[in-house]
Amino acid sequence: MGYDGIAGYLRGGIEAWYNEALPTEHLGLVTVQELKDRLDKDANLIVLDVRRKDEWNNGHIKGALHIYVGHLEERLNEVPVDQAIAVICNVGHRASLGASILCREGRQEVYNVLGSMTAWENAGYAVVK
């Protein structure tokens, strides 16, 4: 994952931003236990798996939508707009990026799944292949 077309940088880092009292945004976090509970209750929630195809094929959450994070911007129209979205990857780094992309596009209820698929599997929850 690389960064192309960098337009600038933040002099003084994020601390300088906070110190100037400039606006910030944040996204929700959800544990795998909370995610499992919401899925079991058939909540209005979609799991968006942003891992590579080989990772997806090795096991994913039943019913999840798969869009690799590198293709998410060009495939945003495939992500439902009327549901909460829990973004998942392997451990959470790409999920955070994917969730940020969705938030930037105006999606309101977006969650990053803490520990992502590693935590999901360590909790003993089912995956499908």
How far is it, in rounded angstroms, from Cα 107 to Cα 79? 10
pLDDT for the residue numbered 7:
82
Tens place of pLDDT for every residue, the chain, 129 residues?
566 777 888 889 889 989 999 988 778 999 999 999 999 997 789 999 999 999 999 999 999 999 999 999 999 999 999 899 999 999 989 999 999 999 999 898 999 999 999 999 999 999 999
Q: Are 57 and 129 in contact (CB under 8 A)?
A: yes
Pick the CATH number of 25-122 from 3.80.30.20, 3.50.50.60, 3.40.50.1860, 3.40.250.10: 3.40.250.10
- DSSP H or E stretch at residue 116: helix 116-122
How far is it, in rounded angstroms, from Cα 77 to Cα 71? 12
Structure-block tokens of residue 70: 């590198």
List the domain boundaries for the chain: 25-122
pLDDT for the residue numbered 2:
64
